[in-house]
């Protein structure tokens, strides 16, 4: 239709554009705080008390004759007529003595009940919502009891002194030394098969040697050493042999040291060849196996000495063998055997190694400790049997472990 429109009508006025009228913004008043959920309002409590009073009053009128009769019978109101005036309600036009008193009591009861319920509601309010709790509550600090007194004694970095409390002679030139740990409950902290270092100053120079204790962590409060005193030994003849027991003298210890850390399951069968004081690490391993009822490792020990009286820890070893039959077998070897000797004589020969050591294979290990000549000879015999020769430094993975 736009193309049909021609010209402008006479008297036509273009309408003025519409003006926008601003609409005033209405700010709603803040909502009143609602009472906590689960708690009745004060108005509701007051109304409930008033309703209770009205109901009591309404129930009075139909029951008035019966109540009055009952009161006379019980002697509660001997002269009800004397209660004709209730001064507190006379200005309201209520003149009945007993009704007026009843209404007054009802009103007072309603007021007291409303006030009591209001206070009770404050005590029983259940505050809900996360805003009712602080944004952060500091955790309580637990006091951890210091376990300094329960730490093992040994320290691999630092030498520490222990007093010598007892010194026994086991055999010719062999001493058993007992040192007291700091407390009667202190443990040594020595893994099975490892050793400790002893340090002393002799002629102005520090001298140290390594020894394997015969005690373990089950022997609390004590460290036990078995040492052979050599005539030309600096640390043994010139120091350890001269120590005074009874706590007079003390010795410096550091450890643990060594590559061996025996544990259950390391082997199924272990062969041991020891000579002289080389029995000490063997004794430590044997003791750990026999004292562990779950360790089913079988041990065959060959122990070589010069004479029968030189056998160290014999009573202890045989007590362990009797304690765990089937786990430990012992075969003694003597250079000079007495008449009627029931064990081996002479050197540890090929026949002894083949008869007493487990056959090489998975689960079989051999430990060696003693004089270098004996150790080297037995290593050769074992490699001839099929054992893999160990490296220069002993490792737990070796078939033949040399202490």
- How many distinct structural domains can be found in the chain? 3
Q: Are residues 74 and 186 in the same domain?
A: no
Q: Which of 187, 211, 239, 303 is catalytic?
A: 211
Q: Are residues 253 and 273 in the same domain?
A: no
Cβ neighbours, 10 Å, residue 250:
14
| Tokens, residue 194 | 């490892």
Catalytic (active site) residue 56? no
Q: Residue 221: is its pLDDT beyond 90?
A: yes
Global pTM?
A: 0.61
Q: Are residues 397 and 339 in the same domain?
A: yes
Q: Which of 186, 187, 192, 195 is catalytic?
A: 195
Q: Are residues 103 and 65 in the same domain?
A: yes
CA–CA separation, 402 vs 271, rounded Å? Answer: 12
Q: Are residues 279 and 374 in the same domain?
A: yes
Nearest to 228 by CA among 297, 277, 265: 277
Catalytic (active site) residue 212? yes
pLDDT band at 139 (very low <50, low <70, confident <90, very high): very low
Q: So what's the pLDDT on residue 5?
A: 55
Q: What is the pLDDT of residues 264-314, one digit of tens each?
A: 999 999 999 999 999 999 999 999 999 999 999 999 999 999 999 999 999
| Sign of the Cα pseudo-torsion (75, 79, 81, 84, in order) | negative
Q: Which residue, 118, 136, 168, sits at the end of a domain?
A: 118
CA–CA separation, 187 vs 149, rounded Å? Answer: 10
Q: What is the CATH number of the domain that holds 167?
A: 2.40.30.10
Establish if 342 belongs to a structural domain: yes
Q: Are residues 275 and 364 in the same domain?
A: yes
Q: Residue 159: is its pLDDT beyond 60?
A: yes
Q: Are residues 295 and 171 in the same domain?
A: no
Q: 214 with 284: CB under 8 angstroms? A: yes
The helix (run of H) or strand (run of E) holding residue 295 is none
The helix (run of H) or strand (run of E) holding residue 188 is none
- Binding-site residues for FAD, in ranges, read 209, 211, 226, 237, 280
Q: Are residues 392 and 274 in the same domain?
A: yes
Q: Are residues 209 and 159 in the same domain?
A: yes
Domain span holding position 55: 42-118
**Mean pLDDT score, 75-101:** 47
Q: What is the CATH number of the domain that holds 275?
A: 3.40.50.80
Q: Are residues 161 and 249 in the same domain?
A: yes
Q: Which residue, 222, 257, 292, sits at the end of a domain?
A: 257
Catalytic (active site) residue 369? yes
Establish if 125 belongs to a structural domain: no
Q: Which of 212, 236, 277, 297 is catalytic?
A: 212
């Amino acid at each position: 239709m736009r193309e049909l429109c021609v010209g402008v009508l006479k008297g036509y006025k273009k309408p003025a554009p519409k003006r926008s009228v601003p609409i005033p913004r209405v700010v709603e008043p803040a909502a009143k705080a609602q009472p906590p959920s689960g708690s009745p309002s004060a108005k509701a409590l007051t109304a409930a008390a008033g309703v209770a009073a009205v109901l009591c009053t309404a129930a009075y009128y139909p029951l008035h004759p019966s109540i009055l009769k009952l009161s006379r019978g019980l002697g509660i109101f001997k002269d009800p007529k004397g209660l004709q005036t209730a001064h507190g309600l006379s200005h309201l036009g209520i003149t009945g003595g007993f009704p007026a008193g009843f209404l007054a009591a009802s009103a007072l009861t309603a007021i007291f009940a409303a006030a009591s319920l209001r206070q009770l509601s404050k005590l029983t309010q259940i505050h809900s919502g996360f805003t009712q709790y602080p944004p952060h509550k500091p955790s309580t600090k637990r006091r951890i009891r210091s376990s300094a007194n329960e730490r093992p004694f040994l320290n691999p970095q630092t030498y520490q002194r222990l007093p010598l409390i007892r010194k026994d002679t086991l055999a010719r030139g062999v001493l058993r030394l007992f040192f007291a740990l700091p407390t009667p409950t202190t443990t040594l902290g020595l893994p099975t098969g490892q050793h400790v270092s002893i340090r002393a100053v002799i002629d102005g120079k520090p001298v140290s040697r390594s020894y394997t204790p015969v005690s373990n962590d089950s022997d609390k409060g004590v460290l036990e050493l078995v040492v052979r005193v050599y005539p030309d030994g600096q640390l043994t003849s010139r120091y350890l042999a001269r120590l005074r027991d009874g706590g007079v003298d003390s010795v410096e210890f550091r450890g643990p040291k060594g590559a061996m850390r025996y544990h259950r399951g390391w082997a199924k069968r272990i062969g041991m060849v020891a000579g002289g004081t080389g029995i000490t690490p063997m004794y430590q391993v044997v003791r750990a196996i026999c004292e562990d009822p779950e360790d089913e490792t079988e041990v065959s020990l060959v122990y070589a000495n010069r004479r029968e009286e030189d056998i160290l820890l014999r009573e202890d070893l045989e007590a362990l063998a009797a304690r765990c039959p089937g786990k430990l077998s012992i075969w003694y070897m003597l250079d000079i055997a007495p008449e009627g000797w029931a064990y081996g004589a002479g050197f540890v020969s090929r026949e002894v190694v083949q008869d007493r050591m487990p056959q090489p294979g998975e689960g079989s290990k051999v430990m060696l400790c003693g004089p270098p000549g004996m150790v080297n000879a037995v290593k050769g015999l074992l490699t001839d049997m099929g054992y893999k020769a160990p490296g220069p430094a002993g490792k737990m993975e070796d078939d033949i472990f040399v202490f």
